[in-house]
């Protein structure tokens, strides 16, 4: 659980998950609603809300955890429509595609990537101080919802 | 040799087309339109999503007999490759396949079994109708299909579902009783969704599937609460998998057919001179046309009166 909190804190916010409602299946973590908690048995395959997995000691968040973070005053950038699609296709983000920045602008911090409808598309890592450059790649894509398509291949 | 002859006589396009004619439908080649269903749980309003899709150049047409369903009239690209799809605002689901989940009464706080759930279109639809409340237990037998189901649940932000790798015929092993059961059973399919259908299907396949479906129905009846509801659906046109199975379920499983009000024609009560229970006309048979072929039936368990 600590690693989830550590991950969330990289967006300059905190989320408290009820430990009793988080279940682990191999390396995957799920957040349950109370009704599911009462019923679940050890041999489940998927349950409730998928919040992420660990691999070689590193945490990889699910998109619903990112959505939960996005509801807080987390670091986020809003991108234009063209950049939205390029990001979903796995591309990094150019400064010109950013419409709005909230929270951290520091190099090395994580930031959520949002579209103009306020929907979370994934997250990335800030490559250089966002106020310090006029163009070029400024956010490295770490995870985007295009992953749902890539998983099918 | 005789078996081979029987097999040849009971297969092929002519054999099946002739059967359909005897059931009152004249064969016609059909190319059904692709359908989508707006996930009302994630989209504030259907209009928001349809406007966004139209701005991408996708032409939509409201499906008249569905609340959240739209046909794709024209699209230059796959509707499975848009931000809106990846954000779970809609699912790709054929029009007829959107009907079964809507037939249950009062779903919101119920305990629901989706016994043959993958790839999850109807599971997500159930979660939508339940507004993510109550509980859905979703089963499927194949691990590969469970991965597709799980991805679908994650993409569409479903929160009220537990998935188990399990054969629907062993559902009583869960030691749970359900208020509602969706049986979208494995079936022989039909020629609309499978171009090579007439070449590969025989009556023997149909009968094998019908047997499997009866086994699933029997298990479902065991785990259904008194006064609970089962919605049974197939995309097969063959009466063995549809009306004949329901006739069997009425007689063998103490189930009763409930009248439903949805798109489709009355179920057939006379198959090749065999008279079935009159209540089977309450089922719905959808011949290929506007949608693919489909069969739907709602069953309720009669409470023990002792």
Decide which of A51, A69, A87 is a domain's last residue.
A69
At B48, list the tokens.
Answer: 């928001």
Encode pLDDT of B114-132 as tens digits: 999 999 999 999 999 999 9
pLDDT mean over B20-42 = 92
| Res B4 pLDDT > 80 | no
C-alpha to C-alpha distance for B66 and B248, rounded to whole angstroms: 30
Q: Does one domain contain both A62 and A104?
A: no
Whole-number pLDDT of residue B227? 92
Q: Does one domain contain both A112 and A62?
A: no
CATH 3.40.50.150 fits B2-23+95-301, yes or no: yes
| Chain centre distance of CA B26 | 23
The reply to whether residue A40 touches residue B162, judged by beta carbons under 8 angstroms, is yes
Please give the ipTM for the structure prediction.
0.96
Full 3-state SS string of B221-257: HHHEEEEEEEEEEECCCCHHHCHHHHHHHHHHCCEEE
CATH 3.30.70.1170 fits B31-92, yes or no: yes
Structural domain including A36 reads 2-69
C-alpha to C-alpha distance for B160 and B124, rounded to whole angstroms: 10
Whole-number pLDDT of residue B3? 61
CB–CB of A112/A66 below 8 Å? Answer: yes
- B155 versus A152: the higher-pLDDT residue is B155
**% of chain A at pLDDT higher than 90:** 92
Q: Does one domain contain both A112 and A133?
A: yes
Residue with tokens 């039909």: B190
- B40 versus B7: the higher-pLDDT residue is B40
Query: What is the nearest CA distance from A136 to chain B, expressed in angstroms?
Result: 24
Q: SS3 of B296, please?
A: strand
Encode pLDDT of B234-247 as tens digits: 999 999 999 999 99
> Bridge-partner residues for A118, per DSSP?
none
Active-site option among B156, B187, B235, B297: B235
Count CA atoms within 13 Å of residue B161 on its CB side. Answer: 33
> Active site includes B235?
yes
Encode pLDDT of B284-295 as tens digits: 999 999 888 999
User: In total, how many domains does chain A have?
Assistant: 2
C-alpha to C-alpha distance for B164 and B138, rounded to whole angstroms: 6
Cβ–Cβ contact B19 with A under 8 A: no
> Bridge-partner residues for A139, per DSSP?
A93, A126
Q: Does one domain contain both A53 and A93?
A: no
Extended beta strands in A56-97, E state? 58-61, 76-79, 93-94
C-alpha to C-alpha distance for A37 and A95, rounded to whole angstroms: 44
**% of chain B at pLDDT higher than 70:** 96
Q: Does one domain contain both A22 and A51?
A: yes
CATH code for the domain in which residue A94 is found: 2.30.130.10
Query: What is the nearest CA distance from B70 to chain A, expressed in angstroms?
Result: 22
CB–CB of A4/A52 below 8 Å? Answer: yes
C-alpha to C-alpha distance for A126 and A144, rounded to whole angstroms: 15
At B91, list the tokens.
Answer: 């699912």
Q: Does one domain contain both A10 and A64?
A: yes
Residues 136-175 on B with a CB inside 8 Å of A are 137, 146-151, 153-155, 157, 159-165
Q: Does one domain contain both A53 and A105?
A: no
Residue with tokens 């809609």: B90
The reply to whether residue A43 touches residue B164, judged by beta carbons under 8 angstroms, is yes
Q: Does one domain contain both A94 and A48?
A: no
C-alpha to C-alpha distance for B99 and B292, rounded to whole angstroms: 12
pLDDT mean over B207-224 = 98
CA angle (B162 as vertex; B158, B164 as ends), nearest 5: 130
Q: Where are the domains of chain B?
A: 2-23+95-301, 31-92
The reply to whether residue B163 touches residue A47, judged by beta carbons under 8 angstroms, is yes
The reply to whether residue A46 touches residue B163, judged by beta carbons under 8 angstroms, is yes
Whole-number pLDDT of residue B306? 47
């Amino acid at each position: 659980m600590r690693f989830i909190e550590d991950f969330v804190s990289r967006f300059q916010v905190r989320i408290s998950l009820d430990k009793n409602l988080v279940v682990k299946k191999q390396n995957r973590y799920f957040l349950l609603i109370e009704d599911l908690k009462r019923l679940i048995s050890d041999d489940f395959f998927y349950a409730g809300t998928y919040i992420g997995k660990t691999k070689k000691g590193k945490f990889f968040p699910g998109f619903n955890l990112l959505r939960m973070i996005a509801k807080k005053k987390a670091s986020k950038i809003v991108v234009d429509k063209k950049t939205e699609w390029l990001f979903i296709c796995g591309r990094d983000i150019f400064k010109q595609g950013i419409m709005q920045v909230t929270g951290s602008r520091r190099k090395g911090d994580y930031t959520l990537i949002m579209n103009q409808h306020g929907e979370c598309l994934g997250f990335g890592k800030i490559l250089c101080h966002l106020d310090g450059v006029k163009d070029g790649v400024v956010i490295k894509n770490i995870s985007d919802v295009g992953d749902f398509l890539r998983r099918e291949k | 040799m005789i078996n081979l002859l029987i097999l040849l006589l009971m297969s092929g396009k002519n054999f099946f087309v002739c059967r359909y004619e005897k059931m009152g439908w004249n064969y016609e080649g059909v190319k059904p339109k692709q359908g989508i269903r707006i996930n009302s749980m994630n989209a504030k309003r259907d209009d928001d999503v349809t406007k966004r899709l139209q701005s991408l150049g996708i032409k939509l047409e409201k499906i008249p007999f569905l609340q959240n369903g739209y046909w794709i009239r024209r699209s230059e690209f796959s509707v499975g490759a848009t931000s809106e799809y990846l954000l779970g605002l809609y699912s790709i689901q054929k029009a007829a396949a959107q009907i079964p989940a809507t037939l249950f009464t009062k779903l919101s706080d119920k305990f629901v079994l989706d016994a043959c759930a993958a790839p999850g279109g109807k599971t997500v639809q159930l979660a939508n109708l339940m507004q993510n409340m109550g509980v859905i237990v979703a089963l499927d037998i194949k691990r590969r299909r469970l991965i597709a189901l799980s991805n679908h649940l994650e993409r569409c932000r479903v929160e009220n579902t537990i998935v188990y790798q399990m054969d629907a015929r062993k559902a009583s092993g869960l030691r749970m009783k359900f208020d509602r059961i969706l049986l979208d059973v494995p079936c022989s399919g039909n020629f609309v969704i499978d171009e090579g259908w007439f070449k590969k299907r025989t009556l023997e396949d149909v009968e094998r599937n019908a047997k499997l479906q009866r086994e699933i129905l029997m298990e479902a009846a065991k785990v259904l609460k008194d006064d609970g509801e089962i919605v049974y659906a197939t995309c097969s046109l063959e009466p063995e998998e549809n009306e004949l199975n329901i006739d069997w379920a009425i007689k063998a499983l103490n189930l009763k057919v409930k009248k439903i009000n949805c798109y489709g024609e009355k179920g057939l009560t006379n198959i090749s001179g065999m008279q079935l229970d009159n209540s089977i006309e309450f089922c719905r048979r959808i011949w290929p046309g506007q949608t693919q072929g489909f069969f739907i039936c709602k069953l309720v368990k009669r409470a023990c009166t002792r």
